[in-house]
């Protein structure tokens, strides 16, 4: 074990713009994990990293140290090369994981998906799944392995044993205004993926008004950092840059998004959701050598959505994670009305009329998400409860013509939507006198490591 370095010395060194050695970074992470570092010292180091940055070698060392701060998952040798996962930087209406994990498992992958909860205006995969009665997101590593052996995928929360250093640093980044630090984001995301001992990883790095990064350039910078560090960790990593100006799909809100994911799993649903699910999955299948290229991977994943195998895998995952069999069957084979009854419905279902005639230019995701957040669909701080029944359904799409008074949004709430909230929601609808120009593609760019070639994956060590 490395001799501990005095933390004030390390803080001063980074504060002054010097490079930290690997052993010094390990010493800092050990102090975080063991509780010997004071919160003020950790906050000072986070700010020094935020202001002075880290080079690629430092970021890699930080990621490795954080990944090694707790337990790493172990898998049967027969699964080597098949272990895949996806991470999104967060968006509005992003229910991709719910459809992607079972579709990948139906294609032969093993998907130990470790997901998070929503915070602020972005939704969390775990919150969506907990809208399903009985679904249990807490699974031990042993339980995860049993579910993967039976079903091929699971979607779980981060256990206390996995990457404990990240839980400390993640909590302090928010209160120290260091959330947007590139090395800290990279290490936080990839340390958890390294602890999963993945073969391949695809990242959905979103940009736009409702994303963490507003511009494609800043999203590209994060994506390149993630892809290069991931490659050095032995994980075949790729990133897709996708736009987040408008909600993904037509549904926003936990229960409503589950219903829309079920449509996608059945071969239907909104085209933009299906496009992103198959694009991300196609890249993963290509990276693992299960498809000759990303386009062939996309086609294979689409077949899993269309032939019922992805939906069947989702039903099996629900059962394996605590959902009663009748509920799982009703959700996966029931009518839309039966599915809604199983998930529960809000007290009020209200349609908003278009304030004037015009062509839909776009529906802005951010004001929509903020109002729904205030109605109980999201949380402002970790641990706050959410109401899974609160949400909204878009009744229109870009390029559609609306008459004044025609409904464009259906809001599900508990009787708490006031006049100000209605005004804010109306601000999300952008109308124009002429049809809009063709929108830019949802996926703007794909980033892979330098010299990346398809083929069998290595497992992260």
What are the catalytic residues?
A: 87, 166, 173, 188, 192
The two counts, helices (H) then strands (E), for the chain are 18, 13
Calculate helix-pair angle for 294-306, 96-106, nearest 10 degrees: 100
Burial class (CB in 10 A: 0-12, 13-18, 19+), 299: middle
Would you give the end-to-end CA distance of the chain in angstroms? 19
Residue 186 is encoded by which pair of tokens? 């990279």
CA neighbours closer than 13 Å in the CB half-sphere of residue 372:
36
Question: How far is the C-alpha of 364 from the C-alpha of 442, rounded, in Å?
Answer: 15
Contact 317, 151 (CB under 8 A): yes
Q: Residue 16 in 3-state DSSP?
A: coil
Reported for 288-294, long-range contacts at CB under 8 A and 24+ positions apart, including other chains, are 288/81, 288/82, 288/84, 288/109, 288/199, 288/200, 288/236, 288/456, 288/457, 289/81, 289/454, 289/455, 289/456, 289/457, 290/107, 290/108, 290/109, 291/454, 292/454, 293/454, 294/446
């Amino acid at each position: 074990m490395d001799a501990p370095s005095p933390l004030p010395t390390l803080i001063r060194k980074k504060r002054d713009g010097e490079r930290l050695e690997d052993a010094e970074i390990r010493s800092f992470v050990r102090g975080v994990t063991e509780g010997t570092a004071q919160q003020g010292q950790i906050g000072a180091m986070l700010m020094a990293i935020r202001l002075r940055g880290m080079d690629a070698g430092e970021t890699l060392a930080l990621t490795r140290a954080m990944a090694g701060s707790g337990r790493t998952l172990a898998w049967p040798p027969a699964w080597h090369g098949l272990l895949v996962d996806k991470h999104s930087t967060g968006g509005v209406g992003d229910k991709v994981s719910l459809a992607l994990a079972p579709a990948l498992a139906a294609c032969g992958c093993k998907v130990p998906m470790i997901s998070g909860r929503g915070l602020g205006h972005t939704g969390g995969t775990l919150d969506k799944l907990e809208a399903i009665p009985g679904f249990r997101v807490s699974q031990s590593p042993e339980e995860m392995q049993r579910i993967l052996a039976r079903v091929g995928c699971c979607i779980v929360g981060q256990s206390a044993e996995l990457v404990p250093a990240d839980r400390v640093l993640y909590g302090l980044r928010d209160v120290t205004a260091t959330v947007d630090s590139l090395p800290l984001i990279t290490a936080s995301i990839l340390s958890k993926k390294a602890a999963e001992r993945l073969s391949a990883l695809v990242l959905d790095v979103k940009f736009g008004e409702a994303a963490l990064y507003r511009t494609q350039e800043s999203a590209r910078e994060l994506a390149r950092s993630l892809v290069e560090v991931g490659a050095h960790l032995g994980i075949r990593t790729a990133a897709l840059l996708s736009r987040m100006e408008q909600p993904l799909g037509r549904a926003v809100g936990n229960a409503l998004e589950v219903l829309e994911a079920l449509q996608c799993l059945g071969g239907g649903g909104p085209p933009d959701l299906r496009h992103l699910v198959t694009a991300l999955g196609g890249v993963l299948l290509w990276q693992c050598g299960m498809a000759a290229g990303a386009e062939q991977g996309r086609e294979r994943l689409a077949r899993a959505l269309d032939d019922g195998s992805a939906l069947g895998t989702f039903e099996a995952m629900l059962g394996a994670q605590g959902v009663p069999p009748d509920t799982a069957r009703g959700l996966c084979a029931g009518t839309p009305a039966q599915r809604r009854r199983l998930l529960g419905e809000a007290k009020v279902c209200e349609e908003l009329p278009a304030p004037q005639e015009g062509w839909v230019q776009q529906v802005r995701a951010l004001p929509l998400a903020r109002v729904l957040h205030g109605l109980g669909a999201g949380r402002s701080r970790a641990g706050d409860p959410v109401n899974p029944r609160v949400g909204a359904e878009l009744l229109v799409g870009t390029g559609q013509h609306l008459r004044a008074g025609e409904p464009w949004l259906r809001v599900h709430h508990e009787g708490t939507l006031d006049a100000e909230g209605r005004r804010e929601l109306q601000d999300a609808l952008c109308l124009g006198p002429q049809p809009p120009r063709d929108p830019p593609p949802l996926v703007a760019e794909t980033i892979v490591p330098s010299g990346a070639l398809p083929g069998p994956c290595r497992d992260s060590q």
